[in-house]
């Protein structure tokens, strides 16, 4: 299957290794990867901040960029969800609504694609470590992807999985929320770090680099010995 990669801004700017791991993992699973260099921000930061009209130009650019893709896969549940929001944004627009619906229908988060489209639950990964997993809000509640990342982690050889207490709680990132409500955000991420410590895990794993950026930053500032990885990096280990 030919997969068009939607890398996301945070991966492109801060965590390029996640993009590399995603490509290598999908190629290992037999996919051919296409990466359109014209991709930009999906418009989510502006949209979630209430700048709907301003965000539409970025959205139109992304619709055009991925229009000819067979399937679109992203290593971010939050950004993949944003594509599924496009039909609502352009509802009633005779030109853009149909195009937005086509993009939404063929867009998947990485683990969702592997489990639900490729039908693979064991990617052949090996990682000798104790890990816990952060369930990001957009991916879990809005995109509705819950089982795929867990089943993939449980099938990694050598990996010991322990459930995160309060896993349904937000980490405090929330895009611009972490900037606009920084004091509340700090308390939320401190709670998340405490819960991670309670598990005794060596690694915190997640599927949204925004959340991981926030949690990793707090772990580093508090000088905790916990390491943070994106799930693509774990699934790509052999």
Same domain, 67 and 151: no
Same domain, 129 and 189: yes
- Tell me the CATH number at 167: 3.40.50.11810
Q: Which residues of the chain have pLDDT under 50?
A: none
Q: Where a domain ends, among 95, 116, 137? A: 116
What is the structure's pLDDT at 103?
98
Q: Where a domain ends, among 70, 94, 116? A: 116
What is the structure's pLDDT at 175?
79
Q: What is the pTM of this model?
A: 0.94
DSSP secondary structure, 113-167, as one string: IIIIIS--S----EEEEEEEEE--HIIIIIS---HHHHHHHHTSEEEEE-PPTTT
What is the structure's pLDDT at 176?
81
Per-residue tokens: 14: 């801060």
Same domain, 25 and 53: yes
Give the three-class secondary structure for 237: coil
What is the structure's pLDDT at 86?
98
Same domain, 89 and 127: no
What is the structure's pLDDT at 179?
82
pLDDT tens string 74-104: 999 999 999 999 999 999 999 999 999 999 9
What is the structure's pLDDT at 119?
98
What is the structure's pLDDT at 144?
94
- For tokens 């369930």, name the residue: 135
What is the structure's pLDDT at 220?
95
In residues, how long is the chain?
238
Per-residue tokens: 91: 């509802």
What is the structure's pLDDT at 177?
85
For 67, counting Cβ atoms within 10 Å of its Cβ (0-12 exposed, 13-18 middle, 19+ buried), the class is exposed
Through-space distance between the first and last CA atoms of the chain, rounded to whole angstroms: 22
Domain that holds residue 44: 2-116
């Amino acid at each position: 299957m030919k997969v068009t990669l939607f890398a996301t801004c945070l991966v492109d700017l801060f965590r390029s290794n996640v993009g590399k791991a995603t490509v290598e993992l999908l190629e290992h699973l037999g996919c051919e990867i296409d990466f359109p260099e014209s991709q930009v921000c999906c418009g989510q930061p502006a949209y979630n901040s209430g700048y709907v009209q301003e965000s539409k130009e970025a959205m139109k650019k992304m619709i055009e960029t991925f229009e000819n893709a067979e399937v679109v896969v992203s290593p971010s549940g939050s950004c993949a969800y944003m594509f599924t929001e496009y039909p609502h944004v352009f509802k009633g627009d005779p030109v853009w609504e149909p195009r937005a619906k086509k993009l939404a229908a063929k867009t998947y988060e990485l683990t969702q694609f592997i489990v639900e489209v490729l039908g693979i639950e064991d990617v052949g990964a090996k990682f000798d470590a104790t890990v816990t997993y952060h369930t990001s809000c957009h991916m879990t509640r809005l995109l509705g992807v819950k089982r795929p990342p867990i089943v993939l982690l449980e099938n990694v050889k050598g990996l010991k999985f322990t459930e995160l207490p309060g896993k349904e709680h937000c980490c405090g990132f929330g895009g611009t929320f972490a900037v606009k409500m920084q004091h509340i955000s700090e308390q939320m991420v401190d709670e998340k770090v405490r819960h991670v410590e309670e598990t005794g895990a060596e690694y915190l794993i997640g599927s949204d680099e925004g959340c991981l950026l926030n949690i990793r930053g707090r772990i580093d500032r508090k000088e905790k010995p916990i390491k943070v990885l994106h799930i693509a990096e774990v699934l790509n280990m052999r």
